[in-house]
Amino acid sequence: MRFSTNFKPYVLLLVVGIFLLLGYVSHFDFYQAGPLFCFSRRTDVVTVTPWLASIIWEGTFDPVLVDNIYKPMNLTIATTVFAVGKYVSFLRDFLETAEMHFMVGFNVRYYVFTDRPQDVPSVNLTQGRHLSVIQVPGSNRWQEISARRMEIIQTTIESQIRREADYIFCLDVDSKFHARWGAESLGRLVAVIHPGYYDQTRANFPYERRPASMAYIPMDEGDYYYGGAMIGGFVEDVYTLTTVCRNRFAVDAGNSIEAAWQEESHLNRYLLYNKPSKVLSPEYLWQDFKAKTKEVKVIRFSGVIKNYAEVRPNV
């Protein structure tokens, strides 16, 4: 068969295009180049950071396409959750709703840290999902329990998680999943915009403002205010984050300083100078006491309303 002279260049272009596409699919770094990869139908919210990381909102990704890419990779996702003292009572809802919505179809390894292993509820896990209970000491200060998470996650990554998982999410237990939280959330280093501050300007962010603290952020710096209830990413990237934050926390403690929002302040400082490769919108960290706003089309994960005086060891 002979091509007409006009037709030849198109065939050539098509062949080159197919080769480029194949090269793109096999070598493209999905983890780094989110914005190119995502299709955004949203114009009412910012969907990309100034350093070109995607900000994931409903309507910025195609769940079927994302699943088709990630599911064949047979990934294992570690999920750490602390349930110390009375917070053990939040575990059942957390786990049961995670089984319905969190990384469905992936291998998930839950690591439950508690001082009350006997009170960990038995929850039916679907195939490919496992739960380990790891005993940790209790404390009579909630600030200490919350802050010590960095150190415990770091040491558990060293002793166990780095051999057992590809990605990790570290989540607050006093929360429930309400809708899909899937592979669109995977990235090298993943943070979530705190629901209380996504519509605020930098001057209102509750960063640590005392220069004496290792979590200090000057008034004219800062991108977003990230929630401490979620840290995610490659296991090794989260390992570095927890190691740095834990060490900075210890330096502060040696100088008798506790950052304004404990490990959340250290997390925000870390992420200012180590930019996340993916940012999750507040859909991935809402709070039940907050009315849904028009930008938030889907609430995926939300903190339950709790009586602090009742569940915390101190007020």
Binding-site sequence positions for UDP-N-acetyl-alpha-D-galactosamine? 82-84, 87, 172-174
Distance of closest approach, residue 289 Cβ to ligand UD2, in angstroms? 11
User: Which segments of 165-297 does DSSP mark as H helices, in order?
Assistant: 235-254, 262-273
Annotated binding site: 82-84, 87, 172-174, 194, 264
The answer to whether the beta carbons of residues 242 and 157 sit under 8 Å apart is: yes
Q: Which is nearer to ligand UD2, 234 or 301 (CB)?
A: 301
The helix, strand and coil proportions of the chain, stated in percent and rounded to the nearest 5, come to 40, 20, 40
Binding mask 145-174 for ligand UD2 (x = CB under 6 A): xx-------------------------xxx
- Does the annotation mark 264 as catalytic? yes
Tell me which long-range contacts 289-294 makes (C-beta under 8 A, separation of at least 24): 290/195, 290/196, 293/199, 294/44
Distance of closest approach, residue 46 Cβ to ligand UD2, in angstroms? 20
Task: For tokens 């709070």, name the residue.
Answer: 287
* Binding residue count for ligand UD2, defined by CB under 6 A: 23
Write down the catalytic residue from 236, 264, 283, 295: 264
**Overall residue count recorded for the chain in this entry:** 315
Distance of closest approach, residue 94 Cβ to ligand UD2, in angstroms? 9
Binding mask 274-293 for ligand UD2 (x = CB under 6 A): -----------x--------
- Residue 78, both tokens: 């570690």
How far, in Å, CA of 213 to CA of 253, rounded? 9
Among 57, 61, 70, 82, indicate the residue that binds ligand UD2 (CB under 6 A). 82
The answer to whether the beta carbons of residues 238 and 150 sit under 8 Å apart is: no
The answer to whether residue 232 forms part of the interface with ligand UD2 (CB under 6 A) is no
Q: Which is nearer to ligand UD2, 222 or 228 (CB)?
A: 228
Among 84, 150, 161, 215, indicate the residue that binds ligand UD2 (CB under 6 A). 84
Name every residue whose Cβ is closer than 8 Å to that of residue 195 and which is 6 or more positions away in sequence: 227, 282, 285, 286, 287, 290
CB atoms inside a 10 Å sphere around CB 199: 11
- Interface ranges with ligand UD2 (CB under 6 A): 82-85, 87, 142, 145-146, 172-174, 194, 227-229, 261-264, 285, 303, 312-313
- The residues carrying an active-site annotation are 264
